[in-house]
Amino acid sequence: MGRDAREFSVIIVEDESGGYVAIVPELPGCHTQGDSLDEVIENVKEAIELYLETLSDEERREPLSHRVVGLQRVKALA
C-alpha cells in the first residue's frame, strides 16, 4: 500500500540545554529533539514516520483523524 504525504502540527520549544524539542500533539508520545531548528525539523519528520510505521492500518486511522485547530497562549497566575 502506498503512503500519502500528510501535514502534522508540531510544537517546538527551546530546551534548557540550548537545543530544541519537537512535540506532535496528534501522535501522543511522538517527540524528538535537536541542536538546531533544522535538525529538530529533520528529526521530527523521521519520528513521525517511525511512529506511524508501528501502527496497524486500523490504528493509523485514529490519530490521522485528529487535527490541531490552534495554539493559544493563556495568561494565568503561576
pLDDT digits (tens, 9 = 90+) for 51-71: 999 988 888 877 777 778 888
Give the whole-angstrom CA distance, residue 19 versus residue 37: 8
What percent of the chain is modeled with pLDDT above 90?
A: 56
**Residue whose C-alpha is closest to residue 34's, from 48, 49, 18:** 18
pLDDT over 90 (residue 2):
no
**pLDDT at residue 67, as a whole number:** 79
Burial 21-30 (b: 16+ CB within 10 A, else e): bbbbbbbeeb
Per-residue pLDDT band at 3 (split at 50, 70, 90): low
Cell of 66: 485528529
Q: Is the Cβ–Cβ distance between 12 and 19 less than 8 Å?
A: no
Q: Which three cell numbers stand for residue 2?
A: 502506498
